[in-house]
Chain A
Amino acid sequence: MAHIGVTAPVLELAGVGHAYGACTVLSGIDLHLPAGRIHALVGPSGCGKTTLLHLVAGLLPLQDGAIRNGFARSACMFQQPRLLPWKSALDNIALGLKARGVPRAARHAQARDQARRFGLDDTALAQYPQQLSGGMQSRVALARALVLSPDLLLLDEAFSALDVGLKAELYRQLLAEQARRPMAVLMITHDLMEAVRLAHAVWVMAPEPGRIATGFRFDDAPAQRTDAQVYARTAGLLDDATVRASFGLDAPAPAAPLALAAVGGLRC
């Protein structure tokens, strides 16, 4: 694991809460995300994951608690692609670079580079978003965030519209990018296996109000994890009573639950 110096930036949330009108959707969220780490947020639909991500991105005013974002450059991928319908895929990917003042030729070259790695060819890049498939749109949206080389990457169900092959490829890309530089990633997902495969820590949220019910640490390097390990850990996670309660599943099977610790998971 990379050594994290004392000056390395962190994202720190303390007692964060949020209410839409009279409806409290988040309360008492604490989170500590250092550089070079991937944290996954899982939880039932509507428990406030997207709200939390928007608070971190500064898109919602902070009502309660404190957020300290020490990262200089963050980029965000939304749950919906949110591409500009009047711009080609290429121009959409280059949008953030344009905002930073990167000249046209350079930003197009960078955007094309990023797109190729995500399996988007020149035909797709010349098209408007409505002409692309859902999976292509979400890759464009992911490329638009990653091309900025962020220190903090916020992902809201980034991989949910992709087939298994593409998912595996993009996981590899994300981990490779992360190996190159200490990028912190906060990712929301509905896929426990995805969380267990990629993340150093998985936070399980419970609804009404949205709060962190429990968390698990996996200290090995994600790139090194085998499929068998991932399956075992996912099964262990799904056997956990708190996790099952958060998702409204029945109580765990009476058969001895697979000890998560045995496959490298630590409750935190």
Chain B
Amino acid sequence: MIGIVRQWLVGLPAYLWGGWGAIASLLLLLASWEFASQWLDPLALPDPRTVLATLHGLLTDGNAWSELGVTGRRALSGFALSLGVGSALGMLAGLSMTAAMMARPWVTVLVGTPPIGWLVLAMLWFGASDGTPVFTVFVACFPPIFIGAMQGVRTLDGQLREMAQAFALPPLQRLFDLYLPHVLSYLFPAWITALGVSWKVVVMAELLATADGVGAALAVTRSQLDTAGSLAWIVAVVGSLLAVEYLLLEPVKREVERWRTLA
């Protein structure tokens, strides 16, 4: 674990340098936005500089940080719950053909139920508490993680499984040396997908159900017809998602999957 943290710190500069392409493409997006805003009513689409100035204002008066913190806490709690429960249950389901077959329709039901439906149920169950956004995020993140974990276990090479049996690997070693390294290459993409889902769903849940957080702030800007303010909040949310994904998950993934790229 310490090793992974150290590798993460050591690898960060090279990783960021390698991200120039991504940054350039983001700047291109910004440029098209700027271009489009010249032709549109500022009420429909304010130009990026106005939005960034609004965002700067929100961040410097200190308000935005606490809202972002509240939203981040809810999104990450729901995501972490899903990550733990979904990964564990998915891996267990992958071990048994019967469980996998039984789980499939449940997952289809989960995927098919719109998040807004869960949100309404959650509001009935949890009211205006943190439970509503956290639960909604949990349910929305669960299917991709569960499916990823299940697929990962099911695709493990039978020859390696046989080898582990021949060498009498005890259950814990089987988990950490055999299953997890393989399953992680299915889990990481699933986790990244779920993280994106969690960010979207939490804002939606807050918009409808809570009095604080970015979603609630968006509700206020909407009622004031403050497009620049709305866009500023959206940029803040997307920016924080990008930060979590590319500064945390992606480098960890690279380190854990080093064996794959070296080969």
Give the B-binding residues of A (Cβ under 8 A).
54, 57-59, 75-76, 78, 80, 82, 84-87, 95-96, 98-100, 128, 130-131, 144
New A-B contacts (10) at CB < 8 Å, excluding given A82-B162, A84-B160: A82-B163, A84-B177, A84-B178, A87-B259, A96-B167, A99-B173, A128-B263, A130-B259, A130-B262, A131-B262
Contacts of A131 in B (CB 8 A): 262-263
Contacts of B173 in A (CB 8 A): 98-99
Interface string of B142-166 (1 = CB under 8 A from A): 0000000000000000011011011
Q: Is B170 an interface residue (CB 8 A)?
A: yes
B177 touches A57 (CB 8 A): no
Contacts of B263 in A (CB 8 A): 85, 128, 130-131
Instruction: Give Cα A106 to B159, complex, Å.
Output: 28
Residues of B208-263 contacting chain A, CB below 8 A: 259-260, 262-263
Q: Which listed residue (B166, B181, B260, B262) contacts A59, Cβ 8 A? A: B166
Measured between C-beta atoms, what is the minimum distance from B256 to chain A in Å? 9
Q: Is B169 an interface residue (CB 8 A)?
A: yes
Contacts of A80 in B (CB 8 A): 159
B259 touches A78 (CB 8 A): no
Give the A-binding residues of B (Cβ under 8 A).
159-160, 162-163, 165-170, 173, 177-178, 181-182, 259-260, 262-263
Closest 9 pairs between A and B when the two form their complex, measured CB to CB: A130-B263, A86-B181, A82-B163, A86-B259, A96-B167, A76-B166, A99-B169, A128-B259, A82-B159
B259 touches A85 (CB 8 A): yes
Identity of the chain A residue whose Cβ is nearest the Cβ of B174 in the assembled complex? A99
Chain A facing B: main interface SS:
loop
Also in contact, A95 and B169, with CB within 8 A (given A80-B159, A82-B159, A82-B160): yes
Contacts of A99 in B (CB 8 A): 167-170, 173
Instruction: Give Cα A87 to B163, complex, Å.
Output: 14
Contacts of A85 in B (CB 8 A): 259-260, 263
Chain B facing A: main interface SS:
helix
Contacts of A98 in B (CB 8 A): 173, 177
Identity of the chain B residue whose Cβ is nearest the Cβ of A144 in the assembled complex? B167
Measured between C-beta atoms, what is the minimum distance from A216 to chain B in Å? 29
B166 touches A57 (CB 8 A): yes
Contacts of B159 in A (CB 8 A): 78, 80, 82
Q: Which listed residue (A54, A58, A84, A100) contacts B181, Cβ 8 A? A: A84
Identity of the chain B residue whose Cβ is nearest the Cβ of A96 in the assembled complex? B167
Measured between C-beta atoms, what is the minimum distance from A127 to chain B in Å? 8
Identity of the chain B residue whose Cβ is nearest the Cβ of A82 in the assembled complex? B163
Instruction: Give Cα A44 to B91, complex, Å.
Output: 40
Contacts of A95 in B (CB 8 A): 167, 169, 177
Contacts of A86 in B (CB 8 A): 181-182, 259-260
Identity of the chain B residue whose Cβ is nearest the Cβ of A77 in the assembled complex? B166
Contacts of B162 in A (CB 8 A): 54, 59, 78, 82
Instruction: Give Cα A37 to B163, complex, Å.
Output: 25
B163 touches A78 (CB 8 A): yes
Instruction: Give Cα A96 to B169, complex, Å.
Output: 7
Identity of the chain A residue whose Cβ is nearest the Cβ of B169 in the assembled complex? A99
Instruction: Give Cα A253 to B163, complex, Å.
Output: 44
Measured between C-beta atoms, what is the minimum distance from B102 to chain A in Å? 25
Instruction: Give Cα A261 to B182, complex, Å.
Output: 54
Instruction: Give Cα A78 to B260, complex, Å.
Output: 23
Instruction: Give Cα A21 to B169, complex, Å.
Output: 29
Measured between C-beta atoms, what is the minimum distance from B165 to chain A in Å? 6
Instruction: Give Cα A44 to B143, complex, Å.
Output: 49
Identity of the chain A residue whose Cβ is nearest the Cβ of B262 in the assembled complex? A128
Contacts of A78 in B (CB 8 A): 159, 162-163, 166
Instruction: Give Cα A27 to B159, complex, Å.
Output: 24
Contacts of B260 in A (CB 8 A): 85-86
Instruction: Give Cα A144 to B164, complex, Å.
Output: 12
Measured between C-beta atoms, what is the minimum distance from B205 to chain A in Å? 38
